[in-house]
Amino acid sequence: MPIDPRIQAALDRPLNGKRTLRFRMVRGYVAAPGTGPIGETCHTCRHAEPLGCDRREWICGPVGDHTLKIDRSTKACSRWERSKHAR
Ligand code: SF4
């Protein structure tokens, strides 16, 4: 898989301070949102798990903390894998 150009640009940039770290870790997400494939979201990731039968609240499976809910419209992280239910 080719490397995401945003990640390559971040790697090429000199590390001078806080502003150079473009992708920020967010609690509840296993890796920094936005570091995954372009155009993909947690909605199409196989790791997103519903909390209840109504499928309104979701968590990131690898995090394993049921108190940290995720927004499935968030950009995919580097651990994203296509869900077999996604088209
Ligand atoms: S893309 Fe998948 S692995 Fe990454 S935070 Fe979202 S649900 Fe978790």
> Dihedral through CA 11, CA 26, CA 53, CA 81, nearest 10?
10
CA nearest ligand 1 atom 6, residue: 42
Atom of ligand 1 lying closest to residue 58 CA: 7
Atom of ligand 1 lying closest to residue 29 CA: 5
Would you state the pLDDT for residue 8? Answer: 87
Ligand 1: centre distance to CA 44 (Å): 9
Amino acid at residue number 65: D
Query: Does residue 20 surpass a pLDDT of 60?
Result: no
Would you state the pLDDT for residue 41? Answer: 96
> What is the distance between the alpha carbons of residues 67 and 70, in angstroms, rounded to a whole number?
10
Residue 63 contacts by C-beta under 8 Å, 6 or more apart in sequence?
Answer: 28, 29, 30
Model pLDDT for residues 33-82, shown as the tens digit of each residue: 999 999 999 999 999 999 989 999 999 999 988 999 999 999 999 999 99
Would you state the pLDDT for residue 48? Answer: 95
Ligand 1 residue neighbourhood (C-beta within 6 Å)? 29-31, 36, 42, 45, 47-48, 60, 62, 76-77, 79-80
